[in-house]
């Protein structure tokens, strides 16, 4: 059984237990199931892990007008949760050959907080995976480029799965192992994340 963490606009940022690996799902379908499998694999390797379902977070689409209207209430809790986990696995579907709006908008909101838009991402080990009806390679390419631009340490291997080629347990375990071998930037480690 995997605990799925969801955040809502009504939540105030509260300290939550730090986990070693946070599996982030950018859909509530197959990619949420894939994130749950990554979290389970991390626990099998002695890591604490949780799943964060981005579809439960009420963030408006990031635009200049939305930013000018003020910071969404759910953003502080999301940022705190992400900062508390030193390693992330992002599981996302491919939407029209790219990153789905829920993920790209969340990254946009997170990257405009504070003086350093890279602060949350810089030096953070991240693995990326997809379960997509289409190829899935272009979303991972786009996500890899975006995360690298923000300074994340993206695992070289990635996972593409679909109905005809489901994710294999040994491949998930290998990605978790590779993620655990990446060492977080000292600033990430010092911030509790």
Q: Kindly list the domain boundaries of the chain, sorted by start residue.
A: 4-190
pLDDT in tens, 125-152: 999 999 998 788 999 999 999 999 999 9
CATH number, domain 4-190: 3.40.50.360
CB 72 within 8 A of CB 59: yes
pLDDT score, position 185? 67
Residue 72: is its pLDDT beyond 80?
yes
| Joined tokens for residue 110 | 């997170």
Give the 3-state secondary structure of 11-34.
CCCCCCCCCCEEEEECCCCHHHHH
Contact 25, 35 (CB under 8 A): yes
The 10 Å Cβ neighbour count of residue 183 is 12
Please enumerate, as own/partner, the contacts of 11-17 that have beta carbons within 8 Å and a separation of 24 or more.
Answer: 11/73, 11/74, 11/77, 12/76, 12/77, 13/76, 13/77, 13/79, 13/80, 14/77, 15/80, 15/84, 16/80, 16/81, 16/84, 17/48, 17/84
Averaged pLDDT of the chain:
88
Q: What is the pLDDT of residues 99-111, one digit of tens each?
A: 999 999 999 999 9
Count of beta carbons in the 10 Å neighbourhood of residue 185? 17
Residue 15: predicted pLDDT: 40
């Amino acid at each position: 059984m995997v605990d799925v963490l969801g955040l809502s606009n009504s939540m105030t940022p509260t300290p939550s237990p730090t986990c070693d690996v946070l599996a982030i799902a950018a859909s509530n379908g197959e990619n949420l199931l894939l994130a749950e499998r990554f979290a389970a694999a991390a626990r099998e390797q002695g890591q604490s892990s949780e799943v964060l379902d981005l579809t439960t977070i009420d963030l408006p689409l990031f635009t200049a007008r939305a930013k000018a209207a003020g910071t969404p209430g759910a953003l502080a809790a999301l940022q705190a949760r992400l900062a508390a986990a030193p390693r992330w696995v992002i599981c996302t579907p491919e939407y029209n050959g790219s990153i789905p709006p829920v993920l790209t908008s969340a990254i946009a909101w997170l990257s405009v907080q504070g003086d350093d838009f890279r602060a949350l991402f810089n030096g953070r080990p991240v693995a990326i995976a997809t379960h997509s009806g289409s190829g899935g390679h272009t979303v991972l390419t786009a996500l890899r480029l975006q995360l690298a631009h923000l300074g994340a340490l993206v695992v070289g291997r990635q996972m593409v799965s679909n109905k005809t080629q489901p994710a294999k347990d040994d491949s998930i375990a290998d990605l978790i192992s590779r993620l655990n071998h990446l060492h977080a930037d000292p600033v990430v480690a010092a911030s509790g994340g």
